Structure 1
Amino acid sequence: MGATVSPIANLQLLNRHNYEDWSFQVKLYLLAKDVWDVVEAATEPPTPEDGEAEFSAWRKNNAKALLAIRTCCGDDTYPIIKAITTAKAAWDVLAEELKPSDSEEIKPFDSEELKPSDSEEGHNNNDDESDVKYAPLYDSLKRGDWNAAKEFIDRHEEALTHRGSSSGGTALHEEALHNVEELLKLMTEEDLEIQDDNGCTAFFYAFAKRNGPNSCQNG
């Protein structure tokens, strides 16, 4: 039987009609937990003969990822992976079974819809002199220049949690999708809970940009 409560906030358990939304959110969760590598691995998993340390690390991460995937399945989808013992196989089987074969391409929406109006109170970058310091980071992310952004973060680690994006959020809010995987690797779970002026977490922006506008319900 699948879990009655998902470990991911506001996630609807997987059924036979919501695979695309579900897989997107679960992938972000596994990235944040730093176990997505075992799911997307293109090679066979290590064995004890490959080295006890390597095998032990894989086994631990595989268990974390597999548990998350299983507990995010509903009663009608859990049986599909009930007997599967690796996260990669479980993920692949669910995709083969449930991913729509002829889904339409989802167009990203204009993030301006999520920004507060000029008449509303919010984060004002012009009033915060520290934003000038971090401007190169946000400029690099807007250009899609991850190398420049990473170089800045290496020099200013605190920039990861600085709320200086266009929405009053962190660098991850600004980045949303382009290099989201790289930023997730650098941020802690507490960092990911930071909200912008709209009360939205970066996860909401990433989800909304992929699936279209929706009301912000605190991430």
Structure 2
Amino acid sequence: MICVYSRRLALMSTPPTLGLRVRAMEMSDLSFVCASMREHLPGGFFAELGDGFLSAYLRTYATSPSGCAFVAEVDGRQVGFLVGSVDREAYRHHVMRADRGRLLRRGILSLALRPSLAIRFAHTRMNRYLRGLRRCSRVGSTSPSDSRLGILSHIAVATDARGAGVGRDLLDSFLTVCSAHKTPRLQLFVDPSNTGARQFYQSNGWTDASQQTDADGRQWNTMEMTLEA
């Protein structure tokens, strides 16, 4: 059973934290977001490519009309971020049209400087990425439909700021934007061994859906949420 999110009930059950503010991510936040991702989400392939590629990748969430990018501050100090999309396919198509060249250049340079990572990329990801590029070049603009899927891609909170409602408020900001765009369903992926993260998402209305294996053979739990119409 997939939980249905109600913003009114969420706000009633989560009192505000003094000094906490969630705002749209700006380009000046990219160094903080990159550092946070390397520190708190170090196992991702994109993080291994270095800050040059990582910065180019993360900025797409702030520049795409279908992207969401938030930064949380406590008393003016950056303490967390969230990036995702209100429509996975629309976001992908925008990135392929507007950011493909920049990402390719950054990616090629990063792989050239990291031969072992380049070998891994060739064995696990290259063919899939090439198929994706060809598919996006054939398909025109996407239109909204009931099958649209929103994705919570990455979220991280500074260790010393956890327990203060930062992650909850970042999630609420994302859900509010998705509701405004009438996104019917949301999805995220979490490491099955990360019980703390799974409990956090479950306490905020997400439910386990399935398990998937990524290009590196790692297992991920899929969690989902259905939004109110």
Fold conserved between structures, TM > 0.5: no
Structure number with higher strand proportion: 2
- Higher RCO structure (Cα 8 Å, ≥6 apart): 2
TM-score w.r.t. structure 2 length? Answer: 0.28
User: By percentage of residues, which structure has more helix?
Assistant: 1
- When Rg is computed on C-alpha atoms for both structures, the one with the higher figure is 1
